[in-house]
C-alpha cells in the first residue's frame, strides 16, 4: 500500500526569445491586474536561457526583487491548437495602470494553475456534456444535450408559461457571455423568473447609492490613493483586493500621510497596518454599522464641520427632486419605494433636524450598542470632516459587502448621507463608491419584464419576482442554472435544498433510456406532474446543483479559452485573450446559449465568434458606466473588429465610458460624477452619448 505525496517542481523553464506574448488580466478579484502570457511549444525541448539575449524577458538572471522571476505556480502546460505548449503567466512588469509595480496578489500570481491540465487538480474540469440516465450522469453529444434541453424548454414555456422557466446566472462574467444570456432570458424567453447569482431577484445591492445618485464604481484607483482621509466599511482591501491596497491605498498612507479609518469587526492584517501608520480601527459589532455611521454624521453637523459649499451647490431640496432634477423623480424606483415622498426630507436642513433628533444616533448610545469606544467614534468624525487651519480634509468613502449586505437599504442610505456632508462626490481624492467584489462583465442583452411579475407590494405596484420562493412554491418547472451554485449562494437553507431534491430526483419521472424521444417525453412528464427539470452550465461539476439535481450538464469554456472583454473596479475595459484550447468539448456560454436559442426557434443567435457577440452588445452599453460603443465605432472606421481595437490598449485598457474626440481619438473616463471635468460645449457629437453621471449625480 502506497501513500500519495506531492513532489514539488524543482525547475521552471524560462520562455525563449521567440515565445508568443499575449496580454490578459487576472480573472479573480475586482482589481484585475494586467498580465502577460508567454507561450511556446513543448515539442523540441526549447527553453530560454539566463542571459538577456536568450529569454523573452530580455533580462539577465538572477533578477531584482519583483523582476520577471518565474515560480513553479506561474508555469503550466496546456494544449494550443492540439499541441502541448508551455505557458508562463506573470504580472505585466511594464504596467502603467492597476498593478503599477508589476506586482500581483498571491491569488493572481498563481493564476497559471487555473489553466486546464489533466495531470493537475484542474483534471476535474467538465469536458463533455452530461445527461442523467438511470440516476448517473453520463457523457452525451452536444447535439443530444441541446436537442433535449430545447425540446423540454419549448414544452414548458408553451404549456406552463414563460414564468415556469427560470434562469439563475452569474452577473459578473465576460460581456459576451452575459449579453447572450440576458438576450436569451429577458428578450427571447421574456421570463421574469430571472435572477443573478447574489440575489433572489434582480435588485440593487446598494439602493442608498442609487437614491443619492452615486454610481457604485465611479471612483478611480488614483482617487483612493489621493484621499487625505479614507473611510473603509465592510472590507479589508489588503485581504480581498490586495493590489488595490498595496499599490494605491498603502502608497497614499506612505507618500502623503493618508489617514485611513477601517470599520470591520476583526483586527485584520490591513487593520494592523493602518493602526501602525496613524489610522483608526472602528471595531464594530456586526449589524450595528448604521448607528455608527449616523452617529459620525450627527457629530459632524452638530459641530458645523459639514462641507457647506458642496451641499449648497450639489444637494437638491425637495422641490428640485420632485421637479425632476437628480434622483428622486416620481418615475424612478425611489419614489415608488418611499410611498410618494413620505420618508423624503426637504433638503439638508430638514435632514439635519431629523438626525439630531434621533436618540439612537447620540454618541453614547451608538458606542454602547456597537461596542466601539466613543472616543474612537469622535476621532473618526474629526478625521473625516474637521477643518485644520481652515482647510477641510479631502475625504473619500469606500464600502463593500460586509457593510451593505447586512442591511443594504439602511446602511447605504446612511453612508450616502455621510459621504455627501463630508463632500465625497466626484472630485480628485474626494469620492464615494464600492471597493468591489467580482469584476464587472454585465451587459444589457434585454430589459427585465417587471410588469409580468405576479409579486406585488401594497397597491398596484409590482416587484421583481423572488426566484427562491417561486421555486419552493412549485411554480418553476425548468431551471437553467449558469455559473452559480444557487442553493449555497442564496439562503443555503435546508428548505430550498429539500425542495430541489423533491422536484428533481424525488419525482417519479426519471430518465431510464438513451433514446432521445423517450428522454424528452420523460422530462416533459416530470414538468407536467409538478416536478422540475434542471440544466446546469458550469466549468466544474458543482454539488448539489449539478452533482445531485441536474438532468443536463453543459461544460463551459472560461478564462484563457476564448477571447473576452471585461472591466475592473475603475471601469477599465480590457481584452482577456484566448491562449489555449478549452478542455475537451467545453464551449463558452455565448456559444451554448446561441445553440440552445436557435433550437428553440429564436432569431439573432447565429454568432460565429465572441467578437460578433461583443459588437452586437456594444450599442446596449451606450450611456452606462462601461460604455464601449465608441471603441466599436473607431474599429469599423479603421477596418478592424471591436476585439482588435480594444486589444491595442494592451494591459492598460481604457476606462469606460469611452468617448471619441473630433479627431477620432478615444478618451476614457477617469472618474464618474467628475464635477471638475469640462465636456465639449456643443455636447455629445456623432455617436457619442454622455450620461449625466459623467459630471453630475
What is d(CA 541, CA 556) in angstroms, rounded to the nearest whole number? 11
How far apart are alpha carbons 536 and 468 in whole angstroms?
17
CA distance readout (Å), 514 to 133, 219, 231, 585: 7, 55, 60, 20
**Cis upstream peptide for 544 (omega within 30°):** yes
Percentage of the chain lying above the pLDDT 70 cut: 94
**Mean pLDDT, rounded, of the chain:** 92
User: In angstroms, rounded to a whole number, what is the distance separating the alpha carbons of residues 203 and 194?
Assistant: 11
- Rounded CA separation 576/176 (Å): 11
Query: What is residue 317's predicted lDDT score, i.e. its pLDDT?
Result: 65
pLDDT attached to residue 172: 85
Indicate the length of the chain as a whole number.
Answer: 697
pLDDT score at 323: 54
Answer yes or no: is pLDDT of 472 > 70. yes
**CATH architecture entry for 130-203+441-555:** 3-Layer(aba) Sandwich (3.40)
Nearest to 184 by CA among 443, 439, 440, 441: 443
Question: What residues pair up with 35 in beta bridges, in sequence order?
Answer: 24, 91
Bridge pairing between strands 430-434 and 395-399: parallel
Per-residue pLDDT reduced to its tens digit, 285-324: 999 999 999 999 999 999 999 999 999 888 766 666 555 5
Q: What is the pLDDT of residue 319?
A: 61
CA–CA dist 65, 68 (Å, integer): 9
Please give the pLDDT value at position 314: 84
**Alpha-helical regions (H) of 250-385:** 250-256, 269-276, 289-302, 308-314, 318-322, 333-337, 348-355, 363-370, 374-385
- Whether residue 378 is predicted with pLDDT greater than 80 in this model: the reply is yes
Average pLDDT of span 175-198? 96
Residue 668: what pLDDT? 97
Report whether 541 contacts 126 (CB < 8 A). Answer: yes
Exposed (0-12), middle (13-18) or buried (19+): which is 551, by Cβ within 10 Å?
Answer: buried
pLDDT at position 332? 42
CA–CA dist 695, 697 (Å, integer): 7
* Residue 403 pLDDT greater than 70, yes or no: yes
Look at residue 445 and give its three-state secondary structure: coil
**20 pairs with which residues across the strands?**
39
CB 16 within 8 A of CB 46: yes
Q: Return d(Cα 86, Cα 490) in angstroms, integer.
A: 39
For the stretch 318-353, pLDDT in tens is 666 555 555 433 334 444 334 334 456 677 888 899
Beta bridge partners of 667: 659
The residues pairing with 535 across neighbouring beta strands, listed in sequence order, are 480, 552
For 287, half-sphere exposure in the C-beta direction (CA atoms, 13 angstrom radius) is 1
Q: Does domain 218-434 have CATH number 3.40.50.920?
A: no
pLDDT digits (tens, 9 = 90+) for 418-432: 999 999 988 999 999
Mean pLDDT for 630-642 is 97
pLDDT, one tens digit per residue, over 94-135 is 999 999 999 999 999 999 999 999 999 999 999 999 999 999
CA atoms within 13 A of residue 642's CA, in its CB half-sphere: 27
Model pLDDT, residue 4? 64
Going by the DSSP 8-state scheme, the letter that residue 546 receives in this structure is I
Which pLDDT score, from 0 to 100, does residue 346 have? 73
**Which pLDDT value is given to residue 458?**
77
pTM for this structure? 0.95
For the segment(s) 20-123, the CATH number from 3.40.1650.10, 3.40.630.30, 2.60.40.4210, 2.40.100.10 is: 2.60.40.4210
Reported as a single tens digit per residue, the pLDDT across 200-236 is 898 888 888 988 889 999 999 999 999 999 999 999 9
> For residue 107, which phi and psi values (nearest 5 degrees)?
-65, -55
Euclidean distance between CA atoms 162 and 160, whole angstroms: 7
Above 50 in pLDDT, residue 636? yes
How would you classify residue 113: left for phi > 0, otherwise alpha for psi between -120 and 50, otherwise beta?
alpha
- Average pLDDT estimate for 181-190: 98
| CB-facing half-sphere around the CA of 2: CA atoms within 13 A | 3
pLDDT > 90 fraction of the chain, expressed in percent and rounded: 82
* pLDDT number for residue 325: 53
What is the rounded distance in angstroms from the CA atom of residue 283 to the CA atom of residue 263? 6
Give yes or no for a cis peptide into 62 (omega within 30° of 0).
yes
* CA-wise closest residue to 449 among 153, 188, 200: 188
The secondary structure of 27-82, three-state, reads CCECCCCEEEEEEEECCCCCCECCCHHHECCCCCCCCCCCCCCCCHHHEEEEEECC
The structural domains of the chain, with segments of one domain joined by +, span 20-123, 130-203+441-555, 218-434
Amino acid at each position: 500500500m502506497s501513500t500519495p505525496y506531492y513532489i514539488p517542481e524543482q525547475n521552471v523553464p524560462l520562455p525563449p526569445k521567440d515565445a508568443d506574448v499575449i496580454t490578459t488580466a487576472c480573472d479573480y478579484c475586482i482589481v484585475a491586474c494586467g498580465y502577460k502570457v508567454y507561450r511556446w511549444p513543448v515539442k523540441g525541448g526549447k527553453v530560454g536561457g539566463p542571459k538577456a539575449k536568450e529569454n523573452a524577458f530580455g533580462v539577465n538572471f538572477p533578477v531584482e526583487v519583483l523582476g520577471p522571476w518565474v515560480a513553479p505556480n506561474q508555469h503550466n502546460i496546456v494544449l494550443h491548437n492540439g499541441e502541448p505548449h508551455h505557458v508562463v503567466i506573470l504580472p505585466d512588469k511594464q504596467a502603467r495602470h492597476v498593478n503599477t509595480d508589476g506586482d500581483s496578489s498571491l491569488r493572481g500570481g498563481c493564476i497559471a494553475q487555473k489553466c486546464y491540465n489533466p495531470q493537475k487538480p484542474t483534471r476535474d474540469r467538465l469536458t463533455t456534456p452530461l445527461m442523467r440516465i438511470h440516476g448517473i450522469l453520463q457523457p452525451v453529444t452536444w447535439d443530444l444535450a441541446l436537442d433535449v434541453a430545447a425540446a423540454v424548454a419549448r414544452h414548458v414555456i408553451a404549456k406552463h408559461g414563460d414564468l415556469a422557466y427560470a434562469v439563475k446566472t452569474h452577473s459578473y462574467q465576460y460581456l459576451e457571455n452575459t449579453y447572450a444570456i440576458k438576450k436569451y432570458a429577458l428578450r427571447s424567453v421574456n421570463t421574469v423568473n430571472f435572477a443573478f447569482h447574489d440575489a433572489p431577484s434582480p435588485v440593487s445591492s446598494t439602493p442608498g447609492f442609487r437614491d443619492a445618485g452615486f454610481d457604485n464604481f465611479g471612483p478611480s484607483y488614483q482617487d483612493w490613493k489621493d484621499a487625505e482621509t479614507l473611510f473603509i466599511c465592510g472590507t479589508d482591501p489588503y485581504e480581498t483586493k490586495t493590489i488595490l491596497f498595496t499599490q494605491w491605498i498603502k502608497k497614499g498612507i506612505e507618500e502623503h500621510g493618508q489617514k485611513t479609518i477601517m470599520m470591520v469587526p476583526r483586527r485584520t492584517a490591513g487593520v494592523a497596518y493602518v493602526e501602525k501608520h496613524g489610522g483608526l480601527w472602528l471595531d464594530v459589532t456586526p449589524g450595528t454599522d448604521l448607528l455608527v455611521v449616523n452617529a459620525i454624521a450627527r457629530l459632524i453637523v452638530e459641530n458645523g464641520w459639514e462641507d457647506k459649499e458642496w451641499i449648497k451647490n450639489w444637494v437638491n431640496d425637495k422641490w428640485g427632486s420632485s421637479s425632476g432634477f437628480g434622483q428622486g423623480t416620481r418615475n424612478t424606483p425611489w419614489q415608488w419605494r418611499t410611498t410618494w415622498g413620505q420618508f423624503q426630507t426637504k433638503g439638508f436642513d430638514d435632514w439635519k433636524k431629523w438626525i439630531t433628533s434621533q436618540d439612537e444616533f447620540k454618541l453614547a448610545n451608538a458606542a454602547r450598542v456597537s461596542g466601539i469606544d466613543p472616543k474612537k467614534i469622535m476621532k473618526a468624525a474629526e478625521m473625516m470632516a474637521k477643518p485644520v487651519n481652515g482647510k477641510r480634509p479631502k475625504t473619500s468613502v469606500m464600502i463593500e459587502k460586509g457593510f451593505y449586505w447586512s442591511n443594504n437599504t439602511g446602511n447605504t442610505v446612511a453612508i450616502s448621507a455621510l459621504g455627501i456632508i463630508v463632500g465625497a462626490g466626484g472630485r480628485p481624492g474626494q469620492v464615494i463608491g464600492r471597493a468591489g467584489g467580482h469584476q464587472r462583465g454585465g451587459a444589457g442583452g434585454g430589459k427585465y419584464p417587471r410588469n409580468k411579475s405576479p409579486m406585488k407590494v401594497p397597491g398596484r405596484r409590482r416587484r421583481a419576482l423572488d426566484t427562491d420562493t417561486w421555486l419552493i412554491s412549485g411554480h418553476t418547472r425548468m431551471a437553467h442554472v449558469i455559473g452559480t451554485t444557487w442553493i449555497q449562494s442564496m439562503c443555503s437553507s435546508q428548505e430550498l435544498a429539500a425542495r430541489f431534491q423533491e422536484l428533481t430526483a424525488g419525482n417519479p419521472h426519471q430518465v431510464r433510456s438513451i433514446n432521445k424521444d423517450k428522454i424528452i417525453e420523460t422530462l416533459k412528464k416530470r414538468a407536467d406532474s409538478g416536478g422540475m427539470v434542471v440544466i446546469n452550465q458550469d466549468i466544474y461539476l458543482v454539488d448539489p446543483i449539478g452533482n445531485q439535481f441536474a438532468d443536463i450538464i453543459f461544460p463551459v469554456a472560461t478564462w484563457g479559452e476564448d477571447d473576452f472583454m471585461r472591466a475592473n473596479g475603475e471601469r477599465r475595459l480590457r481584452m482577456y485573450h484566448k491562449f489555449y484550447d478549452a478542455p475537451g468539448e467545453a464551449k463558452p456560454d455565448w456559444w451554448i446559449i446561441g445553440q440552445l436559442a436557435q433550437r428553440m426557434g429564436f432569431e439573432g443567435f447565429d454568432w460565429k465568434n465572441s467578437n460578433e457577440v461583443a459588437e452586437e452588445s456594444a450599442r446596449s452599453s451606450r450611456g452606462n458606466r462601461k460604455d464601449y460603443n465608441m471603441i466599436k465605432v473607431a474599429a469599423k472606421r479603421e477596418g478592424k473588429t471591436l476585439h482588435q481595437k480594444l486589444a491595442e490598449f494592451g494591459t492598460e485598457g481604457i476606462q469606460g465610458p469611452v468617448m471619441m474626440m473630433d479627431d477620432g481619438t478615444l478618451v476614457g473616463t477617469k472618474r464618474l460624477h467628475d464635477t471638475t471635468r469640462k465636456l465639449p460645449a456643443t455636447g455629445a457629437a456623432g455617436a457619442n452619448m454622455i450620461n449625466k453621471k459623467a459630471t453630475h449625480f
